[in-house]
Amino acid sequence: MLWDGIKHFKMKLFKSAERTKAQIERGVGILNSLKIVINVLYALMIFQTFLILPRPDDPELEYQSLSQIFSDNVMEIVIILIGLILIVTYWIQFNRQLGNLVRSSPVHASLAITQMICLMLYLYFVRFDMAYDGMRLALQMESIFLSLAGFIGIFNWMYARKNNLTSDQINDNEERSILYQILPEPLAALFSLPFATISPKAWTLSFLIIIPLGYFLKLLRNKQESKLTEK
């Protein structure tokens, strides 16, 4: 009877180990699929961003020269440029995070896709902004979805750390460092929200806050790292 009990326990333990191994393999598969899907989506968004630019062949517009195209649409081009820079920044940050993961999970993958949906909705409202010449609601929605995309990315990184999806080769300091590096963009987008009620120019200029924000967070990160080193 005792031997049967031990045998049953061993079989149960073996099945549990098999299930854990299977989960790890599935997680690796999800991560590989996620890399392909997200990179393709980012590439498509960058392509779509260029399609929003004023076109010289537009029948409703009459341009005599290339310089006229840019001079007549300065604010629109600046807004598109800001969006392009932020999308590329999110793409770089996303690949930096994925480069430090050994596997993913359904929750992690779902959050990553949700982040992409927020960025696509941001581009959708950029089109509204272009069509209605700095529409207040469009600017507000751009700020909201840009910040949401960033904060979802931050939460997803914290989730990955908590659930041991990160590589053993990355230490706690590096994990915290990545967290500080992905904070400025969503904070700047959130900061820009009230400026949408003032004017498109004020909204655009408000994104310059990203420079002091990045510097401040870098100082804060260095300060925390020095404290941990002293301990």
Please, are residues 75 and 134 in contact by the beta-carbon 8 Å criterion?
Answer: yes
Q: What is the pLDDT of residue 70?
A: 63
Q: What is the pLDDT of residue 141?
A: 93
Supply 218's token pair: 């870098």
Contacts of 135 (CB under 8 A, 6+ apart): 128, 129
Virtual CA dihedral for 14, 17, 18, 19, nearest 10 degrees?
120
Q: What is the pLDDT of residue 67?
A: 62
**3-class secondary structure, 55:** coil
- Residue-by-residue pLDDT tens, the chain, 231 positions: 444 544 454 444 334 444 467 777 777 888 888 888 888 888 888 888 877 776 665 555 555 555 666 666 677 777 788 888 888 888 888 888 888 888 888 899 999 999 999 999 998 888 887 777 768 888 899 999 999 999 999 999 989 888 888 887 777 777 788 888 889 999 999 999 999 899 888 888 898 899 899 888 888 888 877 766 665
Q: What is the pLDDT of residue 12?
A: 47
Supply 159's token pair: 């989730």
Q: Which residue has the tokens 């941990």?
A: 228
Contacts of 134 (CB under 8 A, 6+ apart): 75, 199, 200, 203
pTM above 0.85, yes or no: no
